Structure 1
Amino acid sequence: MSIGGDAVRIRLSNEFGREPLVVGAVHLAKHLSAGTVDANTNTNVTFGGEDSVTVAAGLTAVSDPVVFGLPAGSDLAISAYVPHRIGSVTQHGSANRDNYAAPGNQSTAASLSGVRSFYNYSFLAGVDVQNREAEGVVVALGASITDGYDSTWNENRGWPDLLARRLAGAGRTIGVLNAGVSGNSLLQDGVGRSALNRLQRDVLVQPGVKWVIVADLGINDLGGADASTGGRLITGLRQLIRRSNGAGVKVLCTTLPPYAGAEGWTSVGEAGRKVFNDFIRTQGNGCDGVADFDAVTRDPADPTRWDRRYDQGDHLHPNNAGMEALVTAVGLELFA
């Protein structure tokens, strides 16, 4: 959790389900390690005062607030008992953390038995923390780099996680929400709805939102680029800025980091990246602030490629050092 607080509520989603989702019990607890929790912190979660909830296909359920002392940066375990097999699961496909499944109702167990691990966040759409000192929320809206792809598993080493720590270290109480979806695009539906089509759900209606950082989305649009892609990305970004500013949310734009050598790179896509990055660096871009991801990660000898110190190896995604380089580009003065 990016900030601490004294109460928690959760959101369970059946947005992409084809049948009702029945959840028989939900509990919160302090996470200790692989599938184990501090049983002394186990807390029951209710929905409209009831222990169970049925979420209709296409909808999301928000729990009642639960009194729960939560330190900033701590791991929260959420255990849900699903009594009936279902055919479709709403999930975030790449959690970059182990999640666990076990037979029967073990929602209050200190340690799961018969457990297997998997890497999706199933049903869990978000966690809201109550903190009366909070200054607001920033949403990191992006694709796989924002999602934390290939940063060290289970260690919260993605750049949004690092941003949360930087803010906390500077004495700021600003929640950081990660709305990265691996494979996602700014303009085109495909792996998830496009950023433009999910902006309302993932950014504008989030409780306390004041800022959004628009990050690496355009790289996936460039994968199938034609000569107009750079211009279309600019048009899409301008639309996102208008909608966000109209809802009272400031937009922090980032340049697109290099990706030459990656699967899907073309000279046409590279030209589109240059058009987009040149726009981000100009006055009158409409952004409320800019973080130059490209400048802090590119190879000085070949600016179309990642600096090898930061390249995870596929020439598209950063390693842990690359994630740290990215977050240095986000000036905290942007959160005035």
Structure 2
Amino acid sequence: MRDITTKHIPPRSWPEALTRRRFFGFVAAACLATGLSACDDDRDEARRLQATWTASPQNYNEAVPVPGVPPPEPQSFQDQSIRQVMRVSAGGEKVRVRVSNLFGTAPVTLGGVHIARGTGGASINATTDTVLRFNGQESVTVPAGQEVWSDEASFSLPSQTDVAVTVYVPQTTPVATVHSQGQRTISIAAGNALGRATFTPTETRQSYYWVTGIDVRADDARGVIVAFGDSITDGTGATVDALNRYPDFLARRVAADPALKGFSVVNQGIGGNRVLNDVIGTRGVERFQRDVLGTTGVTHTLILLGINDIGFGGFVPAQTVTADDIIAGLQTMVDQAKARDVEVFLGTLLPLEGMAAPYYGQEAEAKRQAVNAWIRANTAQAKGIIDFEAAMRDPAAPLRMRPEYDSGDHLHPNGTGYEAMANAIDLGLFR
């Protein structure tokens, strides 16, 4: 089995670099040593902040090394507002928003960033419109390769609510850091429309631009479940604006369970992502540090990744990997999570017979079976497994997805299939 090494991506601030248990243990030890009563307040403040929505950052300009796939056309914005709609998981009394320029080669300046409750389409409840500030300023310049959080702002936010984050781009700004598959309608308007209750978009898209995270502060915050994976986590095959990806269904199940009050579910999937190679999005063994362990308040993660490592080798022979290579990469992520006291669950790879060659074939199927056998046989390596394959396979043809769950490409589920995936997860795992 090949040894997998990863590039360390340092967290944004030292408290986020520690697990909740270790951080609170450190604070408790300091309190005992100094006798400072304020330590209890500091510990409570750290506990109450958690992620409620995420979108993994991608490099818009990265080329896909697959024959016949052209590089992306350059994009830029100038004197335009982008209203980006998100469904948050947990609610709270304060929010902060992360703006990312991780893949930019030049600074990005946003003339303003507002958050408001969404009321559908490009409309907001104007009475909730809130200016977000960055070190007290309404505009923010994010250096190349960096990301920043807004100051916390008072904002009453129920769980399972749509919010709209509107950004104004005053000067010509090339697009670099995006999340390409948002599965929500994103509206673009000319000029500064930051606080406008509604506007008629000049165009709509389905990608998120620069905005990659929303954190919420709540008294009952308990933890964050991060869904980590590829297009099956990101939601290919789901219906735009229907909120029917598997993490969406899981988030609603968690919100409806009184025993899980205070937990949130966030989605860190990237369509086309792999464990071991950069194709679409940074490879999993590298971005796991940032997108899972760097998520505010993370306590659990579900990993469903590896099918693209198998399939893309058919298009790019130089990037062919073995089942043992994939297993070693998954083990690396499990080890990283356990070292941070994050409970990790491995998902079995879904059946895909019928997917077009050269993505699928006998060799690909043998690798998938080997990876799934390792996942099932090595449950001690992780906290547990989620047997997605068992929930999705056709009893009459076990190498295929059930027809009623199939989006049509034999790889990605439809909304009904994604709901079945979410229902296959025992919520008792998080209690």
Q: What's the secondary structure of 1:204's corresponding residue?
A: coil
Q: 1:206 aligns with which of 255, 270, 295?
A: 295
Whether the aligned pair in 2 keeps the contact of 1:39 and 1:108 (CA below 8 Å) is yes
Structure with greater helix percent:
2
Whether the aligned pair in 1 keeps the contact of 2:394 and 2:400 (CA below 8 Å) is yes
4+ residue runs of structure 1 moved beyond 6 angstroms? none
Q: Which has the higher contact order (CA 8 A, sep 6+)?
A: 2
**What is the TM-score when the length of structure 2 is the normalising length?**
0.76
Aligned to 2:158: 71
For the pair 1:175 / 2:268, whether they are aligned, the reply is no
Q: Which residue identity lines up with residue 61 of structure 1 in the other structure?
A: V
Q: 1:194 aligns with which of 274, 278, 283?
A: 283
Q: Computing the radius of gyration over CA atoms, which structure comes out larger, 1 or 2?
A: 2
For the pair 1:53 / 2:155, whether they are aligned, the reply is no
Tell me by how many angstroms 1:87 deviates: 2.2
Tell me by how many angstroms 1:125 deviates: 1.0
Counterpart mapping for 1:231-250 below 5 A: 231-250=324-343
Whether the aligned pair in 1 keeps the contact of 2:310 and 2:321 (CA below 8 Å) is no
- Quick one: distance in 2 between partners of 1:305 and 1:11? 40
- Quick one: distance in 2 between partners of 1:65 and 1:87? 28
Tell me by how many angstroms 1:256 deviates: 0.3
Aligned to 1:143: 230
Q: What's the secondary structure of 1:108's corresponding residue?
A: coil
- Quick one: distance in 2 between partners of 1:82 and 1:284? 48
For the pair 1:269 / 2:358, whether they are aligned, the reply is no
Tell me by how many angstroms 1:232 deviates: 1.2
Q: Which residue identity lines up with residue 222 of structure 1 in the other structure?
A: I
1:37-58 per-position Cα deviation (integer Å, ceiling 9, x unaligned): 1111111100001111100010
Q: What's the secondary structure of 1:80's corresponding residue?
A: strand
**What is the TM-score when the length of structure 1 is the normalising length?**
0.97
Cα distance 1:283–1:114, how it changes in 2: closer, same or farther (>3 A)? Answer: closer
For the pair 1:156 / 2:251, whether they are aligned, the reply is no
- Quick one: distance in 2 between partners of 1:184 and 1:284? 24
- Quick one: distance in 1 between partners of 2:255 and 2:200? 36
Tell me by how many angstroms 1:228 deviates: 5.8
Q: 2:306 aligns with which of 214, 218, 243?
A: 218
Aligned to 2:186: 99
- Quick one: distance in 1 between partners of 2:272 and 2:156? 35
Whether the aligned pair in 1 keeps the contact of 2:96 and 2:152 (CA below 8 Å) is yes
1:226-250 per-position Cα deviation (integer Å, ceiling 9, x unaligned): 9962111111111111111111211
- Quick one: distance in 2 between partners of 1:87 and 1:44? 24
- Quick one: distance in 1 between partners of 2:211 and 2:397? 42
Q: Which residue identity lines up with residue 377 of structure 2 in the other structure?
A: T
- Quick one: distance in 1 between partners of 2:265 and 2:384? 17
Whether the aligned pair in 1 keeps the contact of 2:352 and 2:400 (CA below 8 Å) is yes
Aligned to 1:312: 407
Q: What's the secondary structure of 2:216's corresponding residue?
A: strand
Whether the aligned pair in 2 keeps the contact of 1:9 and 1:66 (CA below 8 Å) is yes
Whether the aligned pair in 2 keeps the contact of 1:292 and 1:329 (CA below 8 Å) is yes
Q: What's the secondary structure of 1:309's corresponding residue?
A: helix
Cα distance 1:284–1:113, how it changes in 2: closer, same or farther (>3 A)? Answer: closer
- Quick one: distance in 1 between partners of 2:201 and 2:327? 50
Whether the aligned pair in 2 keeps the contact of 1:19 and 1:86 (CA below 8 Å) is no
- Quick one: distance in 2 between partners of 1:222 and 1:251? 22
1:197-221 per-position Cα deviation (integer Å, ceiling 9, x unaligned): 1011101111100111001x21100
- Quick one: distance in 2 between partners of 1:161 and 1:178? 8
Q: Which residue identity lines up with residue 307 of structure 2 in the other structure?
A: I
**Matched residue pairs, number?**
335
Cα distance 1:260–1:204, how it changes in 2: closer, same or farther (>3 A)? Answer: same
- Quick one: distance in 1 between partners of 2:154 and 2:322? 49
